[in-house]
């Protein structure tokens, strides 16, 4: 979208005195819409519609003007290049205009073939002539920028603006670490004046972190703060800050892809003859150039690049909306020249739009396998991201309220790769009258149990647990897993069949299965069915910690289940314990205690436990274990990566036997992190927090030293207690 709001002389187009024809009226409406959308996109950094919608309207106006040349006005968006210049910034005139390139909207392979055929035709090449060399680049979704260097020193940075005049944003661009403030004077020679053209953008991870900070400010009551719609607008907003301190807090990045004005070479020869050589020269001067950039030959090379980038697009750390093809030979670029204000030697080849407009027909609430309630917008079918989308997630009540999505709204829907489609925003001026604000139900729409939201969490969850049919499969899988009650051979596919066929509804139904019911399932031979029945029988002999863990109580993990079993000794004592008693258990806080009480207050959960016992599921019980201090009592350890000789379970067992708690995440309260090969983010977080990091040898040494000190202390205590 490279359109301005004004004509060359700053005046709006005059209204014709005669009645408007249908085409003229439509053209006028399109111009008004496009001006408004461009103003919101470029000047306010608050887009009202997705790019695909703007592009459709733009092409419709182009088509009308092509058919009716008399409708083409000086202020038409088709006659301009960029956005409006904000009044707060000093105006900069580009000595070499910052032109846009033509967009190929055919996102199939034929779009690349058409560009190659057009170039060959313009050059007058015969069919058997050699293939043309092209440079294939990424089409970044950011803000075009021109950087002016004089004698190697950055003196000015300017936005594209309307292509001829831009905004001086030097104070903000200086905050971008990737942009050199001074170019090296050794190696590749420097011209006296050098304008480097490129794109300022924001990485997705930086964008997510920025929005998290914004949400925190909003929650703390900060005035005038907001979250950003997408990385492009967050980057544009940062570049246009009058206070560079604010811009410095919004992490921006830069890619170089071309030149503007260049003059005063110290040597007679320019150090590049092709566009690809130019990009390598930019790299030598210290500018980042996208590593995906390639030299390719002919239409087949362009098609291959387009398909490869389309397939890997979602793995990139930043947003793109297509690729760009440029004739590599600079002399051929000169020969091809320009048409209107677009170079003939380049084209942008777009991918299928990842954002589209559609309407919300209803808002349903779905219950996930873990009980999470998710509001889902039911949409009028729309083709976006390469597929037809009819549903889009609203994530949770807070997100639905923040975006203020209502039934009947026209919304922007986004889908990137395999990511679940989501509603990005609402087109408010198209809202229907009396549209009702969405409210999350306080009961589960599947089983009728209470929907609860823990303090500090964004999601509501069904409290029905084992009783809720939406959670059945997850409940069965959790109960039968190796670390819980363990039913060998009872995996996801078999559980799917059992639940879908109605053979089981609650956990006790597993122990009521007969051979006949099992052999009727797909791919279940009699021998396999017999093995499942044997595994079910063997699983009846379990332990109290495994049984507690297998119930799937929210927030009660394997280690916490062991602590409960040690502390209470019997299941009945655990089930009937008030919150105060639960809080006496090691490492149990209010959230876990409340979750346990809420679970057992559900009568259907008590009934399921009783039925499991009646089916013969049993374990040893006794008095609460004496809680003698262990060598690592009070220590919290996190395991990450692969250790040379110790398995994860073995290391965990050794630590727990020494009294340590083995946690799954790193925090400031973590005592040690034990890291093996391929350790990931947990190791990074430990180093950032200053948590001690041990390898396997360090772990064994810690255990040995702790045991020795514990024995010595125990011996001292024993001697001191003697008369």
Percent of the chain with pLDDT over 70: 91
Which residues, 6+ apart, have CB-to-CB distance to 20 below 8 Å? Answer: 28
pLDDT, one tens digit per residue, over 91-111 is 999 999 998 888 887 888 899
pLDDT, one tens digit per residue, over 130-156 is 999 999 999 998 999 999 999 999 999
Which residues, 6+ apart, have CB-to-CB distance to 382 below 8 Å? Answer: 356, 357, 358, 388, 389, 413
Homologous superfamily of domain range 636-721: BRCT domain (3.40.50.10190)
Map residue 29 onto helix, strand or coil.
helix
What whole-number distance in Å separates Cα of residue 190 and Cα of residue 259? 13
pLDDT score for 642 = 87
pLDDT score for 418 = 56
In 102-203, which residue ranges form alpha helices assigned H by DSSP?
Answer: 109-123, 170-173
Contact 188, 285 (CB under 8 A): yes
**H or E segment at 672?**
strand 672-675
Given 72, 139, 534, 661, which residue is catalytic? Answer: 139
| Mean per-residue pLDDT, 575-591 | 87
Q: Is residue 8 pLDDT above 60, yes or no?
A: no
SS3 sequence of 198-245: EEEECCHHHHHHHHHHHHHHHHCCCCCCCCCCCHHHHHHHHHCCCCHH
The whole-chain average pLDDT of the chain stands at 86
- Using alpha carbons only, what angle is made at residue 556 by residues 555 and 561, rounded to the nearest 5 degrees? 165
Which of the two residues, 499 and 575, has the higher pLDDT score?
575
Strand order in the sheet with 346-350: 103-104, 346-350, 320-327, 133-140, 294-297
Residues of the chain with CATH 1.10.150.20: 466-614
* 488-503 CB burial, b ≥16 within 10 A, e <16: eebeeebbebbbeeeb
| Mean per-residue pLDDT, 483-489 | 93
CA distances to 54, 65, 72, 116 from 68, in Å: 21, 5, 8, 29
| Gyration radius (Cα) of the chain, Å | 33
| Mean per-residue pLDDT, 310-323 | 89
Contact 675, 693 (CB under 8 A): yes
Predicted TM-score of the model (pTM): 0.51
Q: How many CA atoms lie within 13 A of 679 on its CB side?
A: 23
Q: Is residue 493 pLDDT above 50, yes or no?
A: yes
What whole-number distance in Å separates Cα of residue 232 and Cα of residue 354? 14
- Using alpha carbons only, what angle is made at residue 546 by residues 543 and 552, rounded to the nearest 5 degrees? 145
Residue linked to tokens 């000595």: 95
Q: Lowest-pLDDT range, 1-10, 198-207, 328-337, 666-675?
A: 1-10
* 301-330 CB burial, b ≥16 within 10 A, e <16: bbbbbbeebbeebeeeebbbbbbbbbbbbb
pLDDT, one tens digit per residue, over 527-550 is 999 999 999 999 999 999 999 999
Strand partners, 133: 297
Residue linked to tokens 């398995």: 647
CATH match of 103-350 with 3.30.470.30: yes
Which residues, 6+ apart, have CB-to-CB distance to 216 below 8 Å? Answer: none
Map residue 388 onto helix, strand or coil.
strand
What whole-number distance in Å separates Cα of residue 290 and Cα of residue 172? 22
CATH number assigned to the domain covering 354-463: 2.40.50.140
Dihedral (CA of 505, 510, 511, 514) sign: positive
CATH number assigned to the domain covering 466-614: 1.10.150.20
What whole-number distance in Å separates Cα of residue 122 and Cα of residue 344? 9
What whole-number distance in Å separates Cα of residue 148 and Cα of residue 92? 11
Contact 192, 261 (CB under 8 A): no
Contact 471, 371 (CB under 8 A): yes
pLDDT, one tens digit per residue, over 369-425 is 778 999 999 999 998 877 788 999 898 888 888 889 999 999 999 886 556 788 988
Q: Is residue 42 pLDDT above 80, yes or no?
A: no
Q: Is 257 exposed, middle or buried (0-12, 13-18, 19+ CB in 10 A)?
A: buried
10 Å Cβ neighbour count for 396? Answer: 19
Residues of the chain with CATH 3.40.50.10190: 636-721
Q: Is residue 616 pLDDT above 90, yes or no?
A: yes
Residues of the chain with CATH 1.10.287.610: 1-83
Contact 687, 651 (CB under 8 A): no
Which of the two residues, 52 and 127, has the higher pLDDT score?
127
pLDDT score for 625 = 63
10 Å Cβ neighbour count for 105? Answer: 16
Chain-centre distance for alpha carbon 222: 26
What whole-number distance in Å separates Cα of residue 580 and Cα of residue 593? 8
Q: Which pairs with CB-CB distance under 8 Å and at least 24 residues apart come from 593-600? A: 594/454, 595/454, 595/553, 595/554, 595/555, 595/556, 596/553, 596/556, 596/564, 598/452, 598/463, 599/463, 599/465, 599/551, 599/553, 599/554, 600/575, 600/576
Does 685 qualify as catalytic in the annotation?
Answer: no
Residue 221's pLDDT band (cuts 50, 70, 90): confident
Residue 87's pLDDT band (cuts 50, 70, 90): low
The tokens for 104 are 């190929």
Top-tier CATH class for 1-83 = mainly alpha
- Using alpha carbons only, what angle is made at residue 409 by residues 60 and 233, rounded to the nearest 5 degrees? 65
10 Å Cβ neighbour count for 195? Answer: 22
In 662-695, which residue ranges form alpha helices assigned H by DSSP?
Answer: 681-689
What whole-number distance in Å separates Cα of residue 663 and Cα of residue 676? 16
Q: Lowest-pLDDT range, 240-244, 272-276, 408-412, 429-433?
A: 240-244
Q: Is residue 608 pLDDT above 70, yes or no?
A: yes
Residue 561's pLDDT band (cuts 50, 70, 90): very high
Contact 554, 546 (CB under 8 A): no
The tokens for 565 are 């079993």
Q: Is residue 11 pLDDT above 50, yes or no?
A: no
pLDDT score for 628 = 57
pLDDT score for 718 = 42
Contact 575, 583 (CB under 8 A): no
Map residue 479 onto helix, strand or coil.
helix
DSSP letters spanning 71-110: G--TT-GGG--S-PPPTTS-EEE-SS------EE---SHH
What whole-number distance in Å separates Cα of residue 84 and Cα of residue 89? 11
Residue 721's pLDDT band (cuts 50, 70, 90): very low
pLDDT score for 720 = 42
Q: Considering all CA atoms of the chain, what is the largest pairwise distance in Å, rounded to the nearest integer?
A: 118
Residue linked to tokens 């950094």: 45
Residue 445's pLDDT band (cuts 50, 70, 90): very high
Q: Which pairs with CB-CB distance under 8 Å and at least 24 residues apart come from 20-29? A: 23/64, 23/67, 23/68, 23/71, 24/68, 24/71, 26/60, 26/64, 27/61, 27/64, 27/65, 27/68, 27/71
10 Å Cβ neighbour count for 272? Answer: 16
Map residue 588 onto helix, strand or coil.
coil
């Amino acid at each position: 979208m490279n359109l301005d709001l004004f004509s060359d002389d700053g005046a709006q187009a005059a209204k014709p005195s005669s009645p408007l024809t249908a085409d003229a009226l439509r053209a006028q409406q399109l111009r008004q819409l496009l001006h408004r959308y461009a103003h919101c996109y470029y000047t306010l950094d608050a887009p009202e519609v997705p790019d695909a919608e703007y592009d459709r309207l733009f092409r419709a106006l182009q088509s009308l003007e092509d058919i009716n040349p008399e409708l083409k006005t000086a202020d038409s968006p088709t006659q301009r290049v960029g956005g409006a210049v904000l009044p707060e910034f000093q105006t900069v005139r580009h000595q070499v205009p910052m032109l846009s390139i033509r967009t190929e909207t055919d996102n199939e392979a034929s779009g690349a073939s058409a560009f190659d055929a057009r170039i060959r035709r313009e050059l007058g090449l015969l069919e058997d002539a050699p293939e043309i060399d092209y440079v294939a680049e990424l089409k970044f979704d950011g803000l075009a920028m021109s950087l002016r260097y004089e004698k190697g020193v950055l003196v000015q940075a300017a936005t594209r603006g309307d292509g001829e005049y831009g905004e001086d944003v030097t104070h903000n661009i200086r905050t971008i670490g990737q942009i050199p403030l001074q170019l090296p004077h050794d190696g590749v020679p420097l011209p006296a004046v050098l304008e480097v053209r490129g794109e300022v953008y924001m990485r997705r991870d930086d964008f997510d972190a920025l929005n998290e900070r914004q949400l925190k400010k909003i929650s703390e009551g900060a005035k005038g703060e907001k979250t950003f719609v997408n990385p492009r607008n967050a980057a544009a907003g940062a570049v246009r800050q009058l206070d560079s301190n604010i811009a410095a807090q919004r992490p921006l990045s830069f890619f170089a892809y071309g030149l503007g004005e260049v003059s005063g070479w110290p040597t007679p020869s320019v150090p590049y003859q092709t566009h690809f050589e130019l990009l390598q020269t930019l790299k030598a001067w210290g500018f980042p150039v996208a590593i995906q950039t390639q030299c390719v030959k002919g239409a087949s090379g362009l098609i291959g690049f387009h398909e490869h980038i389309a397939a890997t697009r979602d793995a990139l750390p930043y947003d793109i909306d297509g690729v760009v093809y440029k004739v590599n030979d600079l002399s051929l670029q000169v020969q091809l020249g320009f048409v209107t204000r677009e170079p003939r030697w380049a084209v942008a080849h777009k991918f299928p739009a990842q954002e589209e407009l559609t309407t919300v027909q209803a808002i349903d609430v779905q219950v996930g396998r873990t009980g999470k309630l998710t509001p889902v917008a039911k949409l009028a079918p729309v083709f976006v991201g390469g597929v037809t989308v009819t549903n889009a997630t609203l994530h949770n009540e807070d997100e639905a309220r923040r975006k203020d999505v209502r039934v009947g709204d026209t919304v922007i829907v986004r889908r990137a790769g395999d990511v679940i489609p989501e509603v990005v925003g609402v087109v408010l001026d198209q809202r229907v009258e009396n549209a009702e604000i969405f409210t999350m139900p306080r009961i589960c729409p599947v089983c009728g149990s209470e929907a609860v939201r823990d303090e500090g969490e964004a999601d509501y969850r069904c409290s029905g647990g084992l009783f809720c049919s939406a959670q059945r499969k997850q409940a069965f899988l959790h109960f039968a897993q190796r670390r819980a009650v363990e039913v060998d051979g009872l995996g996801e596919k078999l559980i799917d069949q059992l639940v879908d066929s109605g053979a089981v509804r609650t956990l006790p139904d597993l122990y009521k299965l007969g051979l006949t019911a099992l052999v009727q399932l797909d791919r279940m031979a009699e021998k396999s069915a017999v093995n499942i029945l044997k595994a079910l029988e063997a699983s009846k002999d379990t332990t109290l910690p495994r049984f507690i863990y297998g119930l799937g109580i929210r927030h009660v993990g394997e280690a916490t289940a062991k602590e409960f079993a040690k502390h209470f000794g019997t299941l009945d004592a655990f089930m009937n314990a008030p919150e105060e008693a639960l809080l006496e258990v090691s490492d149990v806080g209010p959230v876990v205690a409340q979750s346990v009480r809420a679970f057992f207050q559900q009568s259907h959960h008590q009934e399921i436990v009783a039925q499991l016992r009646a089916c013969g599921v049993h374990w040893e019980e006794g008095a609460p274990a004496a809680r003698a201090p262990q060598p690592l009592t009070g220590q919290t350890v996190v395991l990450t990566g692969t250790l040379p000789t110790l398995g994860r379970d073995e290391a965990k067992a050794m630590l727990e036997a020494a009294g340590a708690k083995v946690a799954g995440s790193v925090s400031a309260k973590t005592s040690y992190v034990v890291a093996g090969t391929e350790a990931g983010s947990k190791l990074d977080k430990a180093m950032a927090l200053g948590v001690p990091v041990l390898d396997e040898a360090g772990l064994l040494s810690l255990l040995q030293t702790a045991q020795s000190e514990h024995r010595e202390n125990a011996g001292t205590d024993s001697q001191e207690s003697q008369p």
